[in-house]
Amino acid sequence: MSYRDNYEKWLNSPVVDQETKEELLAIAGDEKEVEGRFSRMLEFGTAGLRGVMRAGLNGMNVYTVRYATQGLANLINTCGEEVGSGVTIAHDCRNHAREYAVEAACVLAANGIHVNLFDALRPTPELSFGLRETGSIAGINITASHNTKEYNGYKAYWSDGAQLPPEHAAEVAQSMARIDIFDDVRTMPYEEACEAGLITLIGEEMDEKYLENVLAQSVGKRYVDAAPETFEILYTPFHGTGYKLVPEVLKRLGMKHVLTVPEQMVVDGKFPTVKSPNPENVEGFELAIEYAKKWDTELIIGTDPDGDRCGIAVKTEDGYETLTGNQIGVLLLDYLITARREMGALPANAAAIKSIVSTTMANKVCADNGVTMIETLTGFKFIGEKIKEFLATGEHTFIFGFEESIGFLAGTYARDKDAVVASMLIAEMACYYNSKGMNLYEAMQSLYEKYGYYKEKSTSVAFGGFDAGERMAKLMEGLRASAPAEIGLPVVRVRDYLTGVITDLRTGETEPTGLPQSNVLYYELEDGNSAIIRPSGTEPKIKLYVMVKGANAAEAAERFELVQREGVKMMQG
């Protein structure tokens, strides 16, 4: 069916509401816009759906949400597993998030699947926790993470609390391809589903169970209790789901003074006080920094709209600086090992987990402390799978997992990154370093002195136009066909995670990667430096990750600039 046929189908369908039809009639004369909305469906992948909120196949709206949910319902009803307590659904603060969550619930109910629906917005990690607590076979979270206000998304989870494994995501996508977006999607009125007992609301009782598990991950309350009366932390949820539970967990931890950014404590999917609600970027902290300067607060903690990512800004001699996800991850890893060892609670088989694109400085921290480091593909679901494996085999005891994109987790109560537990651990870690006369920026410099100087950053090259996917695929194919001899520094080995083969360019010897398939090229450069290329799973861009180390900060910076410059040139052709 052509994009024009799809457009006319939506305009003429009795299922489509009048407001949506009026939106579509308004673009009737814009052929490019019509093509953009109807040439293809939003792709359902391992990250679910994510797109701009607009009418059409290639947008987030009630019809694409229902469509994806029918695909998930078909998987649940044919997978042969025990449905148990059905599906748990949560949502964040984004516009239409509650509406989409209710629509998903109504589709599941119409398919005979019980739904546990949170009564209001909740952090993503509580969804991961809650679906396991209720014994659900699956979970849905309506969120677009830290994307700008125009976006929304649909994340699907499985019974282990992690996002859908690739094989289940593929089954949902295949099911959607076999059915009609209107004729084959079942739904029913919300009130009727509630009266029939097919939808049950979850309230504060789940919050209490979740917070109990978060607080159980504390390893340094003694540092919090000993912190001076003047020690303060400033917190902002960027208008999102952290507004309630983060201040509450810090209060229960014993933090004496937790200040907040008043304007950003207001739940608002338009994110009126930030350009982008992303705590990775210093721009997102502009308003918080104004308050920090006014109140002379050294540490700012920020969580993204769905409460799974956590970033910080720290006072320096030149103002305030955000630490990267790699830096925060290394700080937390070293702190957790140190604090656990001090209290005699570091297991002999302790293990940490990180993604392959996250700093190798973490490997050094683990090696120097007798802790095993496990690496996974990008995506916290893979860290979740390893946690599940550890619990089943007893081979390792999980103490910490992280990704460079400011995602952190301690504890096995959830299988997704958790900004609530990260905020708590960052707060007590700040108290620990305060007792040593350092803030977290200074603490990071001390770790460089201890473990060596590392520098990492990811850069994205965007691909515009409707053929973006084809051009991205062509670039990756070309790189696979002919490996570069150097990317600023000589290339020693190439790990191709799509073919599953590691090739030594000096000897020609090969070995398996030992990880699942993924469209990633990992170039091992001389002296333990790296350049990694990976197409984004949610946007038309390819990411370059540069990870280098040096004998000192200057050498690390020099190597970084060299590899970064040549890597970008390579991606641009």
Cβ 493 vs Cβ 505: under 8 Å: yes
> Where do the H-state alpha helices sit in 439-552?
440-451, 468-481
Question: What residues have CB less than 8 Å from 105, skipping those under 6 apart?
Answer: 89, 115, 117, 190, 193, 199
Residues forming a β-bridge with 49? 154
Give the total residue count for the chain.
573
Contact 159, 382 (CB under 8 A): no
Dihedral, CA atoms, 219, 224, 225, 227, nearest 10 degrees?
150
What's phi and psi for 512, nearest 5 deg?
-75, 150
Rounded Cα distance, 253 and 235, in Å: 15
* Residue whose C-alpha is closest to residue 122's, from 492, 414, 529: 414
The H-assigned helical ranges of 39-96 are 62-78
Q: What angle do CA 49, 375, 406 make, to 5 degrees?
A: 55
Q: How many CB atoms lie within 10 A of CB 392?
A: 8
> Which residues have a catalytic role annotated?
145
Question: Which residues, at least 6 apart from 508, have a Cβ–Cβ distance to it below 8 Å?
Answer: none
